[in-house]
Amino acid sequence: MNKLKKGLGRGLSSLIGETKSTNKNNTIEVSKLVKNRFQPRKIFDENKLNELTNSIKERGVLQPIIVRKHNQDHDKYEIIAGERRFLAAKKAGLEEVPVVITNVDDLKSLEFAIIENVQRDDLNPLEEAQSYQRLIDEFSYDHEKVSKFIGKSRSYITNSLRILTLPKEVLNLIETRKISAGHAKVLVGLDNAEFIANKIFDKKLSVRQAESLVKIFKGKKNSLKSKDANVQFLQNSLTEKIGLRVNISNSKNNKGSIKIEYKDLDQLNRLIEIIKSNY
């Protein structure tokens, strides 16, 4: 079976088996490890990192960190998978950690990093999308190939990548988990995505509430777009004449309705007097 079709479900252990390992039972000084430049994860949850640090203090690093020789500084090793364990080990004060040393290229290094994080659901939606985009931009993957590698549908990959079309300010809210993946999907394709995103964050809206808010804005936008210029002029003229808000809905066959808004009985009585005096 083609290894891409096996995808994410195989896990790191089987991928390690496909690569040449110089040593599978080794320890390396923490000071000789450097972060993976292909690491898709930018934000590490501080509470979870502290929990792992306490665990390592008690039981040590149970799962080896996967590394490769640094391509410039040959005294160093670049982390391929296990950066969180590396950070926790440093915080715990460990001098050495168990490692698996492998000989892999840049593509395989990125694949390892993506698989580890996606399997553990450690990436926010933006980091996940950026990982897939990097496979596409730097290693000539297409959506179908990413789909087979990750083990998710092509539509999932395409929808994930759509997040990258959002404004920078919205991407920052996603990256810092101030709005969720569900919120991000609602915002994709909106002209006012930044405005809606800030409303979601400020009002602590659920995804369903955000969807309702978007529908309201789309309804208003469509109403304004479809309003004929002559109807709009007449609507504004009536509003000025009677001092009350008027809305005219007119269809293509010139059927419709006129809505006049009043806020209290005085305004209603005034409207009735206007109608009586003229008709």
Torsion of CA 83, 67, 54, 13, to 10 degrees: 100
Helix (H, G, I), strand (E, B) or coil at 77: strand
Instruction: Report residue 96 CA to chain centroid gap.
Output: 36
Structure confidence at residue 138 (pLDDT): 83
Higher pLDDT among residues 130 and 44, named by residue? 130
| Element of type H or E holding 100 | strand 96-103
Is 70 exceeded by the pLDDT of residue 271? Answer: yes
Task: Please give the structure tokens belonging to residue 203.
Answer: 């009002």
The question of whether 261 is a catalytic residue gets the answer no
Residue with tokens 């492998």: 102
Query: Residue ranges of the domains in the chain?
Result: 3-161, 166-224, 227-278
Q: What is the largest CA-CA distance in the chain?
A: 98
Catalytic residue among 83, 111, 127, 128: 83
179 neighbors 209 (Cβ within 8 angstroms): no
Q: What is the mean pLDDT of residues 169-175?
A: 88
Structure confidence at residue 227 (pLDDT): 60
pLDDT in tens, 204-229: 989 899 888 888 777 665 555 556 77
Is 60 exceeded by the pLDDT of residue 47? Answer: yes
Q: What is the mean pLDDT of residues 94-106?
A: 87
pLDDT in tens, 241-255: 777 788 888 777 778
Structure confidence at residue 7 (pLDDT): 44
Torsion of CA 51, 122, 8, 23, to 10 degrees: -50
pLDDT in tens, 6-17: 444 445 555 555
Confirm or reject CATH 3.90.1530.30 for domain 3-161, answering yes or no: yes
Higher pLDDT among residues 263 and 131, named by residue? 131
Q: What is the mean pLDDT of residues 92-104?
A: 89
Using 50, 70 and 90 to split pLDDT, how confident is the model at 92?
Answer: very high
CATH code of the domain occupying 166-224 = 1.10.10.2830
